[in-house]
Chains A and B, each alone.
Chain A
Amino acid sequence: MQMKNVLGVINLVNDKPFLKELTKHRCLASVPFAGRYRLIDFTLSNFIHSEITDVVVFTKAKHRSIMDHLGSGREWDLDRRNGGLHILPPVSPDKKVKGDLQQFHEHIQVFKQTKADLVVISPGHHVGKIDYSEAVDAHRKKQADITILYKDYEGEPVEKPIYHQCRMLRDGSLLDIDLFTAPLPGAHVCLETYILDKALFIKLIERCVEQEEYDFLKDVVKANQHKLNILGYAFTGHLPFIHSNESYYKSNMDFLNPEIIHDYFYKQGEIYTKVKHEAPATYTATSNVSNSLVANGCEIEGTVENSVLFRGVKVHKGAVVKNSIIMQRGEIGVDVEIDGIIADKHVKLINEQKNTEAGKIHVIEKAAIR
């Protein structure tokens, strides 16, 4: 294994605010997930378990949340003398970023200086356990120029054309990429995760920017599909497609399954996140919790069913929380009943009944901290 020579790139330049309220003030990769994580934790933890210890994160806008979360990278063991974590925002924040290639180009020295000879690029919001060392092995063995990770689409059909589809030849090489499509189940959805040689990467960035082309997928991958040896790598593990409040909700609820919890968190390689040192959760004589994920610092005096409670959530006496996701420091007041709610951080629901129609998810925006 030569994973020491791999640079991990998290590309947040193409960030998509798919989740409306939840992505209003933060990028998709920074959205809270499964009781105590942020989406980006999964990619960073996958990197570290794949022995990728040299990681750069390209951010475009809304980066306060992600910067605060990542810090020095020490929670992911990325506070290193050599390599480690580097966050790279746009060089001129007042200038419009024309595409990810422009920002890669602005920081081209980073690629030139790293000892790595291979680059793994990820969009940073995939919730999956991807073993990059396996994909890198396949890339090297098959002497591919570029390897693209894809996954066959699962779930409700997408209404808007937001996914790129890979059309593959029988030998596993790429025939074409269809940009911005609404995939049907089984379609090879491009995970915007790529592996390529660093020297080639630098050459392609420089050439594209010279010709005023700024989109990695369109101008590096699609434009070169006949000139380069581009191979597909099918990821077959669990990986929810998150592109709407409904799919985000469902992918959280997937984790109310002991097998999924076990596969993600207890089997080979835990998922790291920023540790908050909350006390264990408190249950009182009136608490009644079932089929739920509960994080530390919660105080539960009421009823909680089929829900996800993030750190420090308070559920007061007589309150009923059903089929809901309550983020950090949320508070559900005495006798308040809610069903089908996603409440962002610091939301307090006191003296009000929040009931929504069956099957409809209602999102409550982040409240200002007192």
Chain B
Amino acid sequence: MSKKWLAMLLAGGQGTRLGQLTNALAKPAVPFGGKYRIIDFTLSNCTHSGIDTVGVLTQYQPHLLNDYVGNGKAWDLDRNIGGVSVLPPYQAKDGGHWFEGTADAVYQNIRFIDQHDPEYVLVISGDHIYKMDYTKLLDAHTQKHADATIAVIKVPWEEASRFGIMNVDQRGKITEFKEKPDVPESNLASMGVYLFNWKLLKRYLEEDAVNELSSHDFGKDIIPRMLGDNKHLYTYAFDGYWKDVGTIRSLWEANMDLLHKTDGFTLDDPDWRIYAGNANNPPQYISPWAKIERSLINEGTMIFGMVEGSVVSYNVSIGKGSLIRNSVIMPNVSIGNNVRIENAIIAPHSVIADCSVIGTENQSKEITLYGEQQLLLSKLENTLP
């Protein structure tokens, strides 16, 4: 049976700039917002947009991610026809190899896509925080009879040179795509959300695969080539909250954004819930000695100390006399008594001894990532539901 559309979710990113957090985890599996993993946002977007077939392309440290995504039941993606499929690199008769780029990852799974015979393929990335109704993107795409539509967001001009920037005409048709331009001519940044007509994309992927000079990347190779062939590529302007959480600071900032409801971004919209895989935790216990302000606290926590402006995940205990300020406490962390943590991210499975001091008062200077690497590696499996 043919599908109108399906999504290919790129989840193989190593996330090297997240330091120890991604020693044993793919970036999309990094915990976020007290109860989620980064990939929950894109998977939930798919569900709410009515996309019932999602291929999750994994590569780097895939075990936890594979288990976490599982049959997709948490996201209502355990469907009889379609549903979620985890797609790691594989061996075929004529050999096999690692995914060598984002385009190669999709190219290697052409058969998976053809099985579902979709008209459109949505390519998204599992390492961004945003809530987006992809049906609006599809509507814009079909209205303009586009060959491909790329979701863009306006970024501050001074930051534009960090992004893939689209130059467009008045109708939103893309005239030029520039990856991290020194002198940006526009501030429309690519969100890493692409919608393609499958027949066309397939042809470009096949041509790209045999091009030895190509780096097999959507941004660097496929999109410029389509533009060079005068294909109709349009932008779709998204005006909600969107954040790339590729660095320790941006990950910390995105967590803090939840407290400030930056750009109206919240997690409690009943019509756009963010689903998460490990959601069964007992209610949080707030002791008589606790004091909590301006914070997000997940279930499965026991709090005896003070928490200010922080995000606290499940299976966390915070001891008496401790102060947690402007910090992110990831799952399965035990914090002793009289500890002081400021402007820090505490990695999963950390054990913080009594009277420890972590982080600095000045958040504009640095955000501390605290994690004991060995512990992180050895206890990885316990973070699974």
Query: Which residue in B34, B275, B286 is a CB contact (below 8 Å) of A294?
Result: B286
- Count of chain A to chain B residue pairs whose CB atoms are closer than 8 Å in the complex: 106
Query: Which residue in B35, B282, B288, B294 is a CB contact (below 8 Å) of A264?
Result: B282
- The answer to whether B286 and A271 touch across the interface, beta carbons within 8 angstroms, is no
Question: Which residues of chain A are within 8 angstroms of B296 by Cβ–Cβ distance?
Answer: 279-283
A277 within 8 A of B: yes
Given A284-B293, A293-B283: A278 touches B288 (CB 8 Å cut-off)? no
Q: Min CB distance, B153 to chain A, in Å?
A: 23
- The answer to whether A294 and B276 touch across the interface, beta carbons within 8 angstroms, is no
Segment 266-288 of B: residues with Cβ below 8 Å from A: 266-268, 273-276, 279-288
Given A74-B73, A279-B267, A279-B274: A296 touches B286 (CB 8 Å cut-off)? no
Once the chains are docked, how many angstroms separate the CA of A289 from the CA of B275?
27
Query: Which residue in B279, B293, B297 is a CB contact (below 8 Å) of A277?
Result: B279
Given A278-B268, A280-B311, A285-B294: A293 touches B284 (CB 8 Å cut-off)? yes
Interface residue tally for chain B (C-beta within 8 Å): 36
Query: Which residue in A273, A283, A284 is a CB contact (below 8 Å) of B280?
Result: A273
- The answer to whether A280 and B35 touch across the interface, beta carbons within 8 angstroms, is yes
What is the chain A residue whose CB lies nearest that of B304? A258
Segment 284-310 of B: residues with Cβ below 8 Å from A: 284-299, 302, 307
Question: Which residues of chain B are within 8 angstroms of A297 by Cβ–Cβ distance?
Answer: 268
Once the chains are docked, how many angstroms separate the CA of A234 from the CA of B268?
45
Once the chains are docked, how many angstroms separate the CA of A291 from the CA of B289?
8
Segment 86-122 of B: residues with Cβ below 8 Å from A: none
Please report whether the interface of chain B is mostly helix, strand, loop or mixed according to DSSP: loop
A36 within 8 A of B: yes
Question: Which residues of chain B are within 8 angstroms of A280 by Cβ–Cβ distance?
Answer: 33-35, 267, 296-299, 311-312
Mark interface residues in A250-284 (1 if CB within 8 Å of B CB, else 0). Answer: 00000010100100111000111101011111111
- The answer to whether A279 and B266 touch across the interface, beta carbons within 8 angstroms, is yes
A324 within 8 A of B: no
A292 within 8 A of B: yes
- The answer to whether B274 and A36 touch across the interface, beta carbons within 8 angstroms, is no
- The answer to whether B292 and A283 touch across the interface, beta carbons within 8 angstroms, is yes
Once the chains are docked, how many angstroms separate the CA of A296 from the CA of B281?
10
Q: Min CB distance, A334 to chain B, in Å?
A: 19
Once the chains are docked, how many angstroms separate the CA of A309 from the CA of B283?
9
Interface residue tally for chain A (C-beta within 8 Å): 40
A181 within 8 A of B: no
- The answer to whether B273 and A296 touch across the interface, beta carbons within 8 angstroms, is no
- The answer to whether A34 and B283 touch across the interface, beta carbons within 8 angstroms, is yes
Q: Which of A261, A265, A284, A308 has the most CB of B within 10 A?
A: A265
A355 within 8 A of B: no
Question: Which residues of chain B are within 8 angstroms of A264 by Cβ–Cβ distance?
Answer: 282
- The answer to whether A258 and B285 touch across the interface, beta carbons within 8 angstroms, is yes
Q: Min CB distance, A298 to chain B, in Å?
A: 9
Once the chains are docked, how many angstroms separate the CA of A261 from the CA of B302?
9
Once the chains are docked, how many angstroms separate the CA of A258 from the CA of B318?
13
A14 within 8 A of B: no
Question: Which residues of chain B are within 8 angstroms of A299 by Cβ–Cβ distance?
Answer: 268
Q: Min CB distance, B297 to chain A, in Å?
A: 5
Given A278-B268, A280-B35: A261 touches B293 (CB 8 Å cut-off)? no
Question: Which residues of chain A are within 8 angstroms of B294 by Cβ–Cβ distance?
Answer: 283-285
- The answer to whether B285 and A281 touch across the interface, beta carbons within 8 angstroms, is no
A353 within 8 A of B: no
- The answer to whether A261 and B286 touch across the interface, beta carbons within 8 angstroms, is no
- The answer to whether A291 and B287 touch across the interface, beta carbons within 8 angstroms, is yes
Q: Min CB distance, B268 to chain A, in Å?
A: 4
Please list 30 pairs of residues, one from A and one from B, whose beta carbons are closer than 8 Å in the complex, sorted by A's number: A34-B282, A35-B282, A36-B299, A75-B280, A258-B285, A261-B302, A265-B282, A271-B282, A272-B280, A277-B273, A279-B35, A279-B267, A279-B273, A280-B298, A281-B284, A281-B297, A281-B298, A281-B299, A282-B268, A282-B295, A283-B295, A283-B297, A285-B294, A290-B290, A291-B287, A292-B285, A292-B286, A293-B283, A293-B286, A296-B299
Enumerate chain A interface residues (CB-CB to B < 8 A): 34-36, 74-75, 256, 258, 261, 264-266, 270-273, 275, 277-285, 287-297, 299, 304, 308-309
The 10 closest A-B pairs by CB, nearest first: A35-B283, A279-B267, A265-B282, A280-B34, A280-B298, A279-B268, A293-B283, A280-B296, A291-B288, A275-B279
A34-B282, A36-B282, A74-B73 given; 5 more Cβ-contact pairs under 8 Å: A265-B281, A273-B280, A280-B267, A282-B295, A293-B286
